Amino acid sequence: MSKAAELAKLLDTLHHENLFRNDFYWTWEKTDDEIASVFAVADALRDLRERNKSTRVFDSGLGISIFRDNSTRTRFSFASACNLLGLEVQDLDEKVSQIAHGETVRETANMVSFMADVIGIRDDMFIGEGHKYQKTFMDAVAEGHRDGILEQRPTLVNLQCDVDHPTQCMADMLHVIHHFGGVENLKGKKVAMTWAYSPSYGKPLSVPQGVIGLFTRFGMDVTLAHPEGYDVMPEVEQVARDNCAKYGSSFHKCASMEEAFADADIVYPKSWAPFAAMEERTKLYTAGDKAGIDALEKRLLAQNAQHKDWACTEEMMKKTRDGKALYLHCLPADISGVSCESGEVDASVFDRYLVPLYKQASYKPYIIAAMIFLAQIKDPAAALRLLDQGRGVRKAF
Amino acid sequence: MSKAAELAKLLDTLHHENLFRNDFYWTWEKTDDEIASVFAVADALRDLRERNKSTRVFDSGLGISIFRDNSTRTRFSFASACNLLGLEVQDLDEKVSQIAHGETVRETANMVSFMADVIGIRDDMFIGEGHKYQKTFMDAVAEGHRDGILEQRPTLVNLQCDVDHPTQCMADMLHVIHHFGGVENLKGKKVAMTWAYSPSYGKPLSVPQGVIGLFTRFGMDVTLAHPEGYDVMPEVEQVARDNCAKYGSSFHKCASMEEAFADADIVYPKSWAPFAAMEERTKLYTAGDKAGIDALEKRLLAQNAQHKDWACTEEMMKKTRDGKALYLHCLPADISGVSCESGEVDASVFDRYLVPLYKQASYKPYIIAAMIFLAQIKDPAAALRLLDQGRGVRKAF
Amino acid sequence: MSKAAELAKLLDTLHHENLFRNDFYWTWEKTDDEIASVFAVADALRDLRERNKSTRVFDSGLGISIFRDNSTRTRFSFASACNLLGLEVQDLDEKVSQIAHGETVRETANMVSFMADVIGIRDDMFIGEGHKYQKTFMDAVAEGHRDGILEQRPTLVNLQCDVDHPTQCMADMLHVIHHFGGVENLKGKKVAMTWAYSPSYGKPLSVPQGVIGLFTRFGMDVTLAHPEGYDVMPEVEQVARDNCAKYGSSFHKCASMEEAFADADIVYPKSWAPFAAMEERTKLYTAGDKAGIDALEKRLLAQNAQHKDWACTEEMMKKTRDGKALYLHCLPADISGVSCESGEVDASVFDRYLVPLYKQASYKPYIIAAMIFLAQIKDPAAALRLLDQGRGVRKAF
């Protein structure tokens, strides 16, 4: 039996029916079965593709992408996922279009969705705004479908918002699962999700938030470490705390990278901006207070610079389990002496982990494709079996 | 019998052979049978898609889009139509390419068309230029095909020029037909195509022109209302006048929104620029007279501002047939108190008509797809039947 | 037997196995059999398309395009070729992405290639940089594939580098072959690859280099003519010289357009920048020496302007074989009195050769498709036969 067929069998045992025709905002809104289903389909699609099986379930249809921030990696991941399933990506570039915030979102959402099956949105820049934009957009298309305007209700893949980054964190987790040889081996593993210094300013909080919200569901011992003042959203910390009892995990906070790294099995050192400062920034942007924005940026860069010792150095890595923790990063990383004078990670550490880092990233297109597959295909297990046994090939001859 | 099959039967009775391998510039160049054929195929394609039937008639091939003005709606409509039929959109973005006006259009037209089946052009900014550009482009590819350079002669879909906006106005009309339950119910219906105030400047004339040129073919009573000085192209008014005898329609002009709205069954209040001013603007642009352009803009905005009472208010709507005329707009509208202080329409009116407005827009991708279908498929009725009865599905499983 | 079937038979006799899973950088790295195979497949794909046969060998998959310089023609040629084979183009636009030179190329190369089958790169601006960038990129994906990051190793189509422009020059040559009725008729034909005046500055050297490197493989008498100081890369001149003995060709250099044109069967008058100046420019750009760059530009434009007599005039054309040499250009040309006051070619000469010029360009999409086909399909001859005899059509009905 092929791997895809085995995964289809696994899928039979999981409740994933609520993923169908539904949106994917945050991992913590999804049940364990649903999370497991996304992993299963991602692995199955990868297996099918590796065996040159066609996974084209759409004959036509559009995947609309909206990037309210520049993006290469996520853009290509979304495009790859859509292409794998037969959807064509149509990008809504706001800089060249007539879209605007507020009232007009409803209109644009309908206007671009007449033949859209999937909507992928990245809106991570402003705390309090990203999720709201996605929600407004998807409410509008749901309404449009209910009112008979849209023949189909497109489903959302959250490509990063101000709260969660589910495609990234689930790709990270699938990588971790395979690295440690299965979910069953994750129990008790120590994860250090730590802040790290970067000379750049205002990096999103969605990765640390997404990680603590998701990794605490696997019986792991998760530490969130950051200098004072770099707190993430309290609601998401609560999610992590609530997971502990349910999943036999633990969740700690500390203000020391060393402490977090000590005996860690997995380290995820990454810069982010303080939540409170990002809230302030959103207000300044809303008010159009250019001087205030500049002052805030200066202040934050100065604040960052006080914590240059938060770096994933060789010495720091030595503190981890046998000095060999799995190093994670969502890329691109700020590499000391390479992309900046001093940054998140030593060049020698980064280089040593290049292959696992790229593998980590390689799961993202499949995670996105799996989210689309489960939201769009009524009986995904049956569909996987038919693709597995079918004569369709990806590359002929 | 399915709706698509019934429409294929209707298509058998219509002369549409001249649409094959031909361009679609202006509706008034097309026969009644040809207009009816586009509507029939649009409805048939929609029916097939709603029933999850594949409408992919192209295995490969390109739809080239050229937008000489920003556009979200039309861009997505064209992309949706191409995707529905199996064509991939390749956008010729003049800002990043080496294209230029004049002599080089011929060269570019051939260079981008080696594998192009369809060309979609929007060029609506300059009176006297938009249609000319489209014609030059299509003459070049026709010549290229005759000379053996291009294996196929791509066909044009006019996505808006300075004279007509056929995909918009035919989508509007198909919406009207379905709203009133069939073409046979349109006889004698009163249409108010009226100017409305907008704080923005230089909006194209192609919508009012397209509407008076098309709606007067359906036995309707069409009034074109605008303040003094906001005339549209006299040639198109003549088209409307000529239609009256032939189709038992009537065409009036007046300088009062109230008069136009009185007992109207359909209202289309929308801003546009005066034809004479747009002619002047074209000359100023050609001469590169920046100061002249600025002065003209200022003058036109001041002129507009004298007519703020031309707004589709609740009071104005009350004057229409039972206070319930069908409100049309090509979107986006300038909504008073929402997108501007005072504009084309009251927010409460606009909101009440949101669902029909979005439905109106939903016809555009199908109108475009129908134009492509009839220009590219030799026996469209037979093709529709085969798609209707075939096993091809749009979304598998 | 169809033309495609005949070409498949020819392909059986050629060694093309090293093209499979390999990159296409420079024509002179390829064997004669390999060059002949690209021509055969290009002609076969064209025949299949003309007969409305499907040539779609990919069910899904991406062709990544990277244009480090604006491009309309090459962009559309690459998009057409990918579309013809079933690949979707995903453009890596560096202006909107996070890519940068150096260390990050390796990362980006992997991040965009998870589902990429083909990479097309144009990087022709800086001597010493274009080829290096392509090589770095492809080394990274080869490594990524070896390390198990990428499921497939995408293959390169060089869409122009600082050294060669293989898709252009092979399209030029296929045009020449068909124009003269076969490779066997090229022996002894005189080719004038000559510099011509242009008021623009810094045109790439890859076309003249590509032409002398490729055309000297066909027993032709190739003259490279340019004013003093406009030398091309010495390594490529050496390639041309080395070809002479092997192929019974000859390669001359001279400093007179008249001499080159005398009795020429083929003329290719085209502007380019001096190699030494381009080397200097690369250094200035690397140093960020804006003043130096401006000074160099001024100097080069002045230098160019001393050679306005290097123009393909009617008088010059009269010197060619019977006054009727085949005029080649990669387009766009600088046409005297049309696109500039005085340029590379007289308007009357250019106009007379318009049809052959456009035909010349029409080969490029097929050359690119053939390069992809041979790099991706294990048994291309068998594949062509199956496409030829198969029931798949490009346009249905």
Q: Tokens 């009472």 identify what position?
A: B309
Q: How many CB pairs under 8 A join B and C?
A: 105
B79 touches chain C (CB under 8 A): no
Residue B53, strand partner residues: B393
What confidence tens digit (pLDDT) does each residue in B239-260 have? 999 999 999 999 999 999 999 9
Determine the CATH number of domain C168-361. Answer: 3.40.50.1370
Residue C254, strand partner residues: C225
Tokens of C172: 């030029």
Q: Would you call A110 and B54 a contact, using CB atoms and an 8 Å cutoff?
A: no
**Predicted structure pTM score:** 0.96
Q: How much is the ipTM here?
A: 0.94
* Among the partner residues A89, A358, A396, nearest to C110 by beta-carbon distance: A358
Written as one letter, the residue type at B179 is H
Buried b (16+ CB within 10 A) or exposed e, A154-191: bbbbbbbbbbbbbbbbbbbbbbbbebbeeeeebeebbb
Q: In this complex, which of A70, A80, A393 lies closest to C115 when CB atoms are compared?
A: A80
Residue B56 is nearest to which of A60, A98, A111, comparing CB atoms?
A: A60
Supply the pLDDT for residue C3.
98
Q: Given 3.40.50.150, 1.20.1050.10, 3.40.50.1370, 3.30.830.10, which CATH number is that of B3-163+364-389? A: 3.40.50.1370
Query: Is C90 an 8 Å CB contact of chain B?
Result: no
Q: What is residue B69's predicted lDDT score, i.e. its pLDDT?
A: 76
The predicted pLDDT at position C72 comes to: 87
C362·B61 Cβ contact <8 A? no
* Residue B183 distance to chain A (closest CA, Å): 21
Nearest to C107 among A80, A83, A332 (CB): A332
Same fold, A3-163+365-389 and A166-361: yes
Q: Is the pLDDT of residue B196 over 80?
A: yes
Instruction: Give the mean model confidence (pLDDT) for residues B199-215.
Output: 94
Strand stretches in chain B, DSSP E: 62-67, 88-91, 116-122, 155-158, 190-195, 221-225, 250-254, 266-270, 326-327, 335-336, 345-346
Residue B18 in tokens = 């001249």
pLDDT of residue C95: 58
Per-residue pLDDT at A97 = 45
pLDDT for position B213:
98
Minimum Cα–Cα distance from B385: chain C residue: C397
For residue C318 the two structure tokens come to: 């009269």
Q: What is the mean pLDDT of residues C224-249?
A: 97
- Whether C72 and chain B come into contact, CB under 8 Å, resolves to yes
Q: Which pLDDT value is given to residue C94?
A: 65
Say which residues have a Cβ less than 8 Å from residue C12's Cβ, sequence separation at least 6. Answer: C381
Of B56, B114, B113, B112, nearest to B87 by C-alpha is B56
Token pair belonging to B285: 């642009």
- Rounded to whole angstroms, the Cα distance separating A2 from A9 reads 11
Mutate to test the interface with A, among B80, B93, B366, B387 (most CBs of A within 10 A): B80
* Chain A neighbors (3+ CB pairs < 8 Å): B, C
What are the residue ranges spanned by the domains of chain C?
3-163+363-389, 168-361
pLDDT number for residue B96:
44
The CATH number that domain A3-163+365-389 falls under is: 3.40.50.1370
The partner residue sitting opposite C386, judged by closest CB among A355, A364, A397, is: A397
Structure confidence at residue C98 as a pLDDT band (50, 70, 90): very low
**Amino acid in position C128:** G
- Using the predicted structure, report yes or no on whether residue C76 has a pLDDT greater than 60: yes
Q: DSSP class of residue A252?
A: E
> A242, exposed or middle or buried, with CB in 10 Å at 0-12, 13-18, 19+?
middle
- Rounded CA gap, B377 and B382, in Å? 10
Higher pLDDT, C96 or C156: C156
- A331 contacts in chain C (CB < 8 Å): 107, 111
Q: Which residue, among B207, B350, B212, has the nearest Cα to B271 in the 3D structure?
A: B207
Torsion of CA A104, A106, A109, A115, to 10 degrees: -130
Are C273 and C300 spatial neighbours (Cβ–Cβ below 8 Å)? yes
Q: C395 CA to chain A: closest CA distance, Å?
A: 15
Residue of B nearest to C357 (CA): B149
- In the predicted model, is pLDDT for residue B194 greater than 80? yes
Put simply, whether C358 touches B (Cβ < 8 Å) is yes
Residue contact B99–C72, C-beta within 8 A: yes
Q: What tokens appear for B246 in the block?
A: 């032939």
Contact indicator for A62, A116 with CB cutoff of 8 Å: yes
For C87, which residue in chain A has the nearest alpha carbon? A83
Confirm if B27 and B35 have CB atoms less than 8 A apart: yes
Any chain A CB within 8 A of the CB of C158? no
CA distance linking residue B174 with residue B191, whole number of Å: 15
Chain B residues lying within 8 Å of C85, measured CB to CB: 60
State residue A339's pLDDT score: 87
- DSSP label at residue A64: E
Q: Taking CB atoms and an 8 Å limit, are C54 and B59 in contact across chains?
A: yes
What's the pLDDT at A198?
A: 95
Query: C378 — contact with chain A (CB < 8 Å)?
Result: yes
The domain defined by A166-361 folds into Rossmann fold (3.40.50)
Q: Is B1 on the interface with A (CB under 8 A)?
A: no
Please report, for residues C225, C327, C335, C364, the alpha-carbon distance to residue C360 in angstroms, rounded to integers and kept in the order given: 22, 10, 18, 8
Q: Read off the pLDDT of residues C361-397 as tens digits, 9 standing for 90 and up.
A: 999 999 999 999 999 999 999 999 999 999 999 999 8
Nearest CA to C188 among C239, C241, C242, C244?
A: C244
How high is the pLDDT of residue B72? 87
Mean pLDDT of chain B: 95
Contacts of B78 (CB under 8 A, 6+ apart): B63, B65, B89, B120, B157, B159, B365, B368
Write the pLDDT tens digit of every residue in B272-297: 999 889 899 989 988 889 999 999 99
Q: Does A355 sit within 8 Å of C148, measured CB to CB?
A: yes
Nearest neighbour of B397 by CB, restricted to A57, A97, A107 = A57
- Which A positions 264-323 lie with beta carbon below 8 A of chain C? none
Average pLDDT of chain C is: 95
pLDDT at C224 > cutoff 70: yes
User: Which residues from C are below 8 Å from B11, CB to CB?
Assistant: none
CA of residue B297 relative to chain centroid, distance = 26
Q: Residues A233, A205: contact at Cβ < 8 Å?
A: yes
Closest Cβ–Cβ partner in C56, C79, C85 for B62: C79
Residue C326 has pLDDT above 60, yes or no: yes
C339: pLDDT strictly greater than 60: yes
pLDDT per residue, tens digit, chain A (397 aa), is 999 999 999 999 999 999 999 999 999 999 999 999 999 999 999 999 999 999 999 999 999 999 987 788 999 999 999 999 999 999 998 654 444 455 688 999 999 999 999 999 999 888 888 999 999 999 999 999 999 999 999 999 999 999 999 999 999 999 999 999 999 999 999 999 999 999 988 899 999 999 999 999 999 999 999 999 999 999 999 999 999 999 999 999 999 999 999 999 999 999 999 988 989 998 998 888 999 999 999 999 999 999 999 999 999 999 999 999 999 999 999 999 998 999 999 999 999 999 999 999 999 999 999 999 999 999 999 999 999 999 999 999 8
Residue written as token pair 């049978």: B33
H/E stretch holding B372 reads helix B364-376
Sequence-distant (≥ 6) Cβ neighbours of residue C32 within 8 angstroms = C217
What residues of chain B lie within 8 A of the CB of C358, using their CB? 107, 110-111, 144, 147, 149
Q: Which residues contact C278 (CB under 8 A, 6 or more apart)?
A: C126, C127, C162, C202, C205
Mutate to test the interface with A, among B59, B362, B387 (most CBs of A within 10 A): B362
Nearest beta carbon to residue B379 from set C75, C88, C397: C397
Phi/psi of residue B88, nearest 5 degrees: -100, 135
Q: Which residue of A has its CA nearest to B77?
A: A112
Nearest to B16 by CA among B392, B383, B386: B383
Arithmetic mean of pLDDT, B81-105: 77
Domain range C3-163+363-389, its CATH number among 3.30.465.10, 3.40.50.1370, 3.40.630.40, 3.40.50.300 = 3.40.50.1370
pLDDT confidence of residue A365: 98
Burial (CB count within 10 angstroms: exposed 0-12, middle 13-18, buried 19+), residue A210: buried
Q: Which of B83, B396, B397 is closest, CB to CB, to A115?
A: B83
Helix (H) or strand (E) holding B169: helix B166-179
Q: Which residues of C touch A392 (CB under 8 A)?
A: 59
Tell me the pLDDT tens digit for each residue of C17-71.
999 999 999 999 999 999 999 999 999 999 999 999 999 999 999 999 999 877 8
> Any alpha helices (H) in C231-336, and if so which ranges?
234-247, 257-261, 275-287, 290-305, 314-318
Chain A residues in contact with B360 by the CB 8 A cut-off are: none
Contact C108 A72 (CB under 8 A): yes
C82 in contact with A, Cβ within 8 Å: no
